[in-house]
Amino acid sequence: MTTHSPPVPCHLNLVDGRWVDGERRPNLNPARPGETVAEYAAADRAVVKEAVDAAGRARPGWASTPVGERMRLLDRIGATILRRVEELAVLLSREEGKLLAEARGEVTRAGQTFRYYAHQLLQPEGEIYASTRERASAEVRRRPLGVVGVITPWNYPWAIPAWKVAPALAYGNTVVLKPAELVTASAGEMARIITDAGVPPGVFNLVMGDGPTAGEELLTSDGIDGVSFTGGTATGRHVARRCVEYGNKRFQLEMGGKNPLVVLDDADLEVAVRCALDGGFFSTGQRCTASSRLVVQSGIHDRFVDALTKATRALRVGDPLDERSQLGPVASPDQLARNLEYVEIGRREGATAVAGGDHTAEEGQFMRPTLFVGARNDMRLAREEIFGPVSCVIKVDDFDEAVAVAGDTRYGLSSGIVTTSLSAAERFKRLSRSGIVTVNLPTAGTELHLPFGGTGESNHGPREQGAYARDFYTVPVTCYTGW
């Protein structure tokens, strides 16, 4: 008797309301090598061009669609995502390796984000000013930016596209989304939900494919007015150059991080360990806000290292669909190789791995969470973003040294402090150079109604999320009226 595996679904590009095929590529499960989760149709440059043209044609109609209608559609998209959380979370978990519980949280966040921006449209649209001229008035209105290219990374396949696409559509823009190659199944499902909600053809388009082809076509196209990008700093720099060279497009970049968590002598040890464990290792360390540098004062250093080493070794690495797992696989073979290379770099630089530092014996792209002690802030281990479950402890003498070490980075996304001193917490909030500061909480973890973004090489352009998102997706128009 022959057995048949169920057919693997294939996600197609969405262009002007039509599903467009392309070269079929597999989307593999990082926890089970050889298991194809889905296939996707890669878009070549011609398909991307068609999508941009379609978004351009749809733009005037969507910009003049009544706000009530845009609200209704966004609300419907959010409601559908929320209704399908379980099924979409399993897919996300299988294609990216995120723990099922984390995947449920992420998909839920995406649904809530669409609903949030539906309701943001009821906020005031502009301001009225007195004019200094006689018999005249002045007002500032907002108009949509136009056609927006959205380029996203693989680590949050639902949350990040949602926090870009939802405000873009809400404020009257049309969109071409290019998701990361590793997570096209989630993007394909999002596109299906947006279309089924009744969003008109051309308003939202999806093109899947690699950066140098599909992404590059978006960056160099005359038909794109702005690019919202999240990904690595090197790619972000390239996006910036292209946007300036090709039509001076508006651009917004959210990039890497090397985020510090400061632990002071007066910290609650349990809170400190919890923050370090969550910030450093949860989501397999694949968060731009991960705390990969633990800046620890000398008085608590040894107790903290002992407790964190035990807790790190106890973390259960395993199948993300198994509710007992606490850490899933690394998302890709390339990322795993990079993580292991940095472990070697750390060792060569003289730091000591007291937990992890290797592959697990299991099949799949699994890696044990790795904790280094004896690191210095000038080591590559402490300066370069790894984007894996690797943290290092840097010992400091006092608060001032901790602040100096925490701020000594070219990045500036998030930073945290664990302390029971109100005064130290307040001073840290004022002195920190990052865009997000946490006290007695992990450096990772954001809320959708609050602005998100960094400084230095972590960010360029206006903040994302919350009401601040409007600044990127709209153009202020100053109107003078004489009467």
Exactly one of 39, 95, 254, 278 binds ligand NAD (CB under 6 A); that residue is 254
Q: How distant, in Å, are the alpha carbons of 16, 18, 144 from that of 57?
A: 9, 15, 14
| 219 in contact with ligand NAD (CB under 6 A) | yes
Q: Is 275 known to be catalytic?
A: no
- What value, to the nearest 5°, has the Cα angle with vertex 248 and ends 243 and 252? 50
DSSP line for 343-391:
HHHHHHHT-EEEE--SB-SSSSS-B--EEEES--TTSHHHHS---SSEE
- Which burial class, exposed, middle or buried, applies to 44 when counting CB atoms under 10 A from its CB (0-12, 13-18, 19+)? middle
Provide the b/e sequence for 372-381 (b: ≥16 CB within 10 Å).
Answer: bbbbebebeb
| 215 in contact with ligand NAD (CB under 6 A) | yes
Strands 136-144 vs 127-130: parallel, antiparallel or unpaired: antiparallel
Provide the b/e sequence for 114-123 (b: ≥16 CB within 10 Å).
Answer: bbbbbebbee
| 210 in contact with ligand NAD (CB under 6 A) | yes
List helix spans (H) across 246-372: 269-281, 298-314, 333-349
CB of 307 to ligand NAD, least distance (A): 28
The residue type at 418: V
Q: How distant, in Å, are the alpha carbons of 33, 259, 314 from that of 329?
A: 11, 22, 16
CB of 126 to ligand NAD, least distance (A): 28
CA-CA distance, 371 to 363, in Å (whole number)? 22
From the list 243, 288, 392, 479, the catalytic residue is 288
* CB of 210 or CB of 401, closer to ligand NAD: 210
| 152 in contact with ligand NAD (CB under 6 A) | yes
DSSP 411: -
| 275 in contact with ligand NAD (CB under 6 A) | no
* CB of 110 or CB of 151, closer to ligand NAD: 151
| 473 in contact with ligand NAD (CB under 6 A) | no
Binding pattern for the stretch 277-296 against ligand NAD, x by CB under 6 A and - elsewhere: -----------x--------
| 96 in contact with ligand NAD (CB under 6 A) | no
| 256 in contact with ligand NAD (CB under 6 A) | yes
| 465 in contact with ligand NAD (CB under 6 A) | no
Closest C-alpha among 86, 350, 95 to residue 208: 95
Judged by CB under 6 A, the stretch of 27-35, 60-68, 227-235, 354-362 that binds ligand NAD is 227-235
Give the distance, in angstroms, between the CA of residue 394 and the centroid of all CA atoms in the same chain.
27
| 238 in contact with ligand NAD (CB under 6 A) | yes
Using CB under 6 A, which residues numbered 374 to 403 contact ligand NAD? 385, 387
Judged by CB under 6 A, the stretch of 17-25, 94-102, 208-216, 244-252 that binds ligand NAD is 208-216
Judged by CB under 6 A, the stretch of 50-58, 66-74, 115-123, 229-237 that binds ligand NAD is 229-237
Exactly one of 97, 172, 231, 435 binds ligand NAD (CB under 6 A); that residue is 231
The footprint of ligand NAD on this chain (CB under 6 A) covers a number of residues equal to 29
| 73 in contact with ligand NAD (CB under 6 A) | no
Region of residue 305 (phi > 0: left; psi between -120 and 50: alpha; otherwise: beta): alpha
Strands 414-418 vs 436-439: parallel, antiparallel or unpaired: parallel
| 211 in contact with ligand NAD (CB under 6 A) | yes
Judged by CB under 6 A, the stretch of 55-63, 207-215, 368-376, 430-438 that binds ligand NAD is 207-215
Catalytically annotated residues: 288
Under the rule (CB under 6 A), what is the footprint of ligand NAD?
A: 151-156, 178, 180-181, 210-212, 215-216, 219, 230-232, 235, 238, 254-257, 288, 385, 387, 413, 458
